[in-house]
Structure formats: structure tokens, C-alpha cells
Structure 1
């Protein structure tokens, strides 16, 4: 598998990048180029908008790439989205956090499937189980990933929920409202995670999505980690989803903690329900079969 890294959000730690690059090399990946560490606006951006846009455009147009993989998240992606003109990636995007804005953008405009997964700087920190799940997804075997059991927060009369699987950082998703980068959520199973948001802010963002009509026709919300989000943030989702009459499941190990399991974006999936438990099952692939072992 040929990887093109890109670092167009916040600045990254070079040692963490090298550790992640070693993980990729050890798992039969080829790195086509290395990202550039720059000094950006007050150092919270990895370069100017123009520099970061050029790097992103180069990564998206690299015809040898099998995957376009984010080095780090943080902040900065939404500054670039309005400037992306006639840019359609040649390969799936891999990453999460700030990168989910980019993945939602390309799904909305081009129907590009992506993979919500650890950033390159985090790969060496993953557990053996989540690393194996990531390798399966990269190798066109996401349908074989056995996700941990989910908890259904309210009785649901049907035995399964089916829809298009999307995964995003809640804050990033709300920032896309009213822009061309916001995808339709109708008919989707939406995986959400976030970090550092107080319960009232989670409430406000969910209410904003609902009031804007973005949650109309959604099949279910599945929660990953709500890291450093105050006391009992899951109760906010439980109350809001009950009010919106949206099935809510929790317990997916996805987001700003380890392990961070891979979740395909833009594929059909279903949640098989039994009593108050649910099992997520991916039904389609993002990557071709056995891509890691391609000569």
C-alpha cells in the first residue's frame, strides 16, 4: 500500500510522526513523501493557508497513492475547504478529528469513501486489537472487523438498523452547516465523538443540527468517546436523541482516546439488535481486497 501523508492542520511532533511512519513500514506500506513541519499562525497552524492548501492539493493529486493519510488533527481544515476548487482525491482519506471536515467535504461533493482512523502520529500508541482492525480495513476486509458490543440506550422495536455509515467529530460537523461541505445525513448511521466540550455545548451543537434539519431521516447515532466533556455527557445525548426520536447507541471505541478503532465512511452498514445490545457490521469496503500485499 502506497501512503501519501499530509499535515495541513496543526503542527505535529516529529518524533511521533517517525514512530507512526515506522508502524506503516513494518506493515508493508510505502511512504511516498514526508510531510513538512512549518511555523504557522502563532504556531497553531502548520503553515500559511497557501502553503497548507498546496500540500493538500499535491497529496490529493498523487496518482501513485492508495491512501491519503493525515499526520495530525487539531485545527485548520475548515479554513481550506472554501479554497478547494476542482480538487477530487485519487484515493481515500484516512484520519479523524479535524480531518473529518475534509472527509465530509469529499463525501458530500464526490461520494468519496474514507476511513475514520488514527492519525499517523498516533499509530504507535494503538492496541494490538485496534491495530489488527485497522489492517483489516486497509486490506479490504472491513467486513471482517468484529466491533465491540454497543449499548442501546432506549428500547427499539426492530431487530436491525441499516444505513450509510458516516463518522465525524461533532464540532467539525456543526461547523460545516450552511456550507457546500455539509453532507446529507438522511439515511445514515452517524458515529460521533468529541473532546473538550462541556455538556451544555454538546447540547447546543446537537440542538443546532436538529433545528437546521440536518438530522432529518437519520437512522441512528452511535457515540464514540466524549473525552474531557464534563460530568455525564452521555446523558445529554440520551435526552436529546429521545426528544428527537433517534435511536442512540454507545460504546464504540472511536475518537480521542486509545484504542481508536477504524470506521469506514460512505459504506453500507447495519446494527444488529438484541435486547439492549447492538453489533455494528460493515457491509462494504473502502479499499480493494488485499491492497497491503499488492506487489
Structure 2
């Protein structure tokens, strides 16, 4: 299927959703890989017990090889959730693989109406990038909902961010700083593997002047090396203001990962900070992608500059 070509969003400020609160409607969708069918009911019950109205995509329990249903069905569920005016938030159930297959099927730039909370990570990076570039949305990098079956406390922590009760601000230690500096910029990125596959496509984020966020899981050091080389040769590190790294889980020795970032990023003399609580590690705090953040290695602080939510 050929890529649908529409005009990219060109707004200086991306669209903000309303902050969540009990009584709002959350839709569970499955744009990528498979998960235990029982997870859906358990996540639904968890959110309903917290006061949310929960809708479930019509096809989330379908299976097609390693995908949660056929492309057309996954795309239809996602499109309905994103465009339904009665839905306030869209939570992805799992990453894995499959989101990139949906991009040509979704006319993001033709979405109308107010934006809404969109939550997920890992393979969902593809959708974060497309929603920012083509629909002009701020989206939220954070846990996929099926993970809450085994860790319901993480659901409470995630909702605290999305309800505006926990600030988007983090401190770090001196040993986490690979290169010093103070910069502010719009946050882009997500999973390193997915982001690398986006470069050169119409759905890639705009890197100029941005803060780049990266994380990954189960990628051998030589593959991390190759991807960082690719981003460098594509001009990404020359364009961005700084780099913020989350967890690199199962990617070999952590010092080797730090060495790779030293080799490929430090020559650009932009601040680089490692091992913040985002991504596939034990802690996956919520990050509003598209919002403006400030990274200050002297104060050892990474924080949001303005609220990612619009007023009611």
C-alpha cells in the first residue's frame, strides 16, 4: 500500500489534551503485538475500579501470527479511538511489533477536533512520531496497559502523571552526566530501534532544536552502535540540543552503552544524560513528547517547562 501523503502539522505549539480525571472515557487498543487475552478484562476492571469508563477496541482479541489482528482491523480500532469525540484517552495494550505497518493506513493530518491523551511506548514510538508530525499532538510515552496486570501499582503511578498530580520533573546524579550543559527544547524520540527505522520516512519527527529521548531493550551493543552511527550520519545529533537516555535493558554491559554514546554523540558538544527512569526498565515514568523540557546538568535536573495539558 503506498504511503498516504498529507500536509504535516506545522503549528509552533502542539495540541494539548485535557488532563485525565475519573469519570472520563479511556479506550484500550492493540496496534502492535499480542498479549494474553485475559489481560484486557483485568486492565478494564482495574481502570473501572478507579472511576474510569473503559471501552475496548472491537478487534483487540484477534490474532494474526505475531500481530494482534490484521492490519486493517488494528488500524480501524485505533482510528476510531483517536477520532471518537466521546473518548478522552487512548491506552495501547502492548508494543512488540506492528505499529509501523499501520502508518500508511491512518490519515493523521485529517484528524479533527481536540486532541486526547495517547499513551504507550516501545513499538508505539512509531505512532507517537506520526501523531506529532502529522496531527500536531502532544502524546505521552509511558507504560503499555497490559503491563499493569502484574503491576497494578504502576497504573496508579501512571495515572498520577496523567491526572496532573505528579510533576514532570526528575533529578539525577553527577555520574549520569556524559557531557554537561543547559538546554531547552521540544522532546522527541522514544525507542532507539523504532526511531532509527523512522529516519528517512515521512513520519520521522522534526529533530531541529529538539531534545532527543532514547531507550531500548534486548539490542546487542553492536546493534546499538550501528543505530547511533545511522542517527549521526543522518544529521540527527547535529540537529538536536541534547540527549536524554532512559534504560537500555538487556543491551549488554551498561558501561559499554555509555562508551558508545561517548564515541558517537560527545563530539557534537551537546549535553547527554544517561539512565533516567523511562523505558523498559523497572521504572517507566510518563514523558509528554512534543512538550518543551529543560535539561540542566549543573543543577542536575530535567523538567517540563510548561504544562502539557490544556485548560478544561
The alignment's TM-score, normalised by the length of structure 1, stands at 0.87
1:236 matched to 2:260? yes
Q: How does 1:1-295 map to 2 (within 5 A)?
A: 1-34=24-57, 36-40=60-64, 43-85=65-107, 86-88=109-111, 90-126=115-151, 133-141=157-165, 144-151=167-174, 152-156=176-180, 158=181, 160-231=182-253, 232-274=256-298, 278-288=300-310
* 1:127 CA displacement: 8.1
**1:104-162 C-alpha deviation (Å, 9 max, x unpaired):** 1111112210000101111244585x6565233212356x2442425543452x4x321
Secondary structure of the structure 2 residue equivalent to 1:37: coil
* 1:94 CA displacement: 0.6
Contact 1:60 1:68 in 2 (8 A): yes
Distance 1:177 1:243, change over 3 A: same
Distance 1:22 1:102, change over 3 A: same
* 1:69 CA displacement: 1.1
Secondary structure of the structure 1 residue equivalent to 2:204: coil
Secondary structure of the structure 1 residue equivalent to 2:302: strand
Q: How many residues align structurally?
A: 282
Secondary structure of the structure 2 residue equivalent to 1:246: coil
Give the whole-Å Cα distance in 2 for the aligned partners of 1:94 and 1:139: 13
Unaligned runs of 5+ in 1: none
Contact 1:222 1:250 in 2 (8 A): yes
Contact 1:116 1:167 in 2 (8 A): no
Of 254-263 and 118-127, the range deviating more from structure 2: 118-127
**1:84-120 C-alpha deviation (Å, 9 max, x unpaired):** 2255374231100111110111111122100001011
Give the whole-Å Cα distance in 1 for the aligned partners of 2:160 and 2:189: 18
RMSD over equivalenced CA pairs, Å: 2.3
* 1:234 CA displacement: 2.5
Distance 1:190 1:22, change over 3 A: farther
Give the whole-Å Cα distance in 1 for the aligned partners of 2:77 and 2:125: 17
Unaligned runs of 5+ in 2: 1-23
* 1:37 CA displacement: 1.0
Secondary structure of the structure 2 residue equivalent to 1:93: strand
Give the whole-Å Cα distance in 1 for the aligned partners of 2:72 and 2:79: 11
Secondary structure of the structure 2 residue equivalent to 1:44: coil
Secondary structure of the structure 2 residue equivalent to 1:51: helix
**1:237-280 C-alpha deviation (Å, 9 max, x unpaired):** 12211133332101211111222111111111112332xx6211
